[in-house]
Amino acid sequence: MHISEGILSAPVLITGAGLTATAVGYSLKKMEHKEVPKVAILSSVFFVASLIHVPLGPSSVHLILNGVIGLLLGWPAFPAILVALALQGVIFQFGGITTLGVNTFNMALPAIICFYLFNRGIKGANNFIALILAFVCGFLAVLLSGIMVAAALVFTGEPFIQIAKLVLIAHLPVMILEGVLTVFCIGFLRKVKPEILNI
């Protein structure tokens, strides 16, 4: 999911950086004081999750967990993912500094979309429905990220359908895995610490 440096053209990079800067600015302004520790912890989770990789055919993919992060954070997912990606770029050379804006946007926007789609549902009284929704949330977040990566790569001249297929097929196991992980995470939090979900 991390797009390396030197692949995207300048307009794509600038657009990504601009959109990310706006979203980060907005969410920092909106962020509550008491939310900060939660954002920091989930940012570290994102930072570590990308190091867990799933071997797969000729390529390999890793966990992203943007679904869970979006569900638990909402808008502050933007600064959380930005900080984690920046450090991954500097320390592990995943992605890159110039592509930071695009990469953050690709992973954080689906997180926020999932927040708005599923935030209500996973708080519902019915445990079973909540868990099904959690699975869909984890699955969908990765799916959307994959589509956005493919869309960003289109501007490099490769045909969209081909990249989209490649990215999506490669990430199908991750989508399922993330769905299952989101179910466990939400199930666990519903039982043990419902106040994190604001129930």
Which residues contribute to the site for other proteins (CB under 8 A)? 1-8, 28, 31, 33, 36-37, 39-41, 43-45, 47-55, 58-62, 79, 83-84, 87-88, 91-94, 149, 152-153, 163, 166-167, 170, 192-193
Cβ-contact 101, 21 below 8 angstroms: yes
For residue 185 the two structure tokens come to: 């995470």
Give the list of residues 6+ apart from residue 70 with CB closer than 8 angstroms, or none.
77, 108, 110, 111, 112, 113, 114, 115, 137, 141
Selection from 176, 177, 182, 153 nearest residue 165 by Cα: 153
Cβ burial, residue 179 (10 Å; 0-12/13-18/19+)? buried
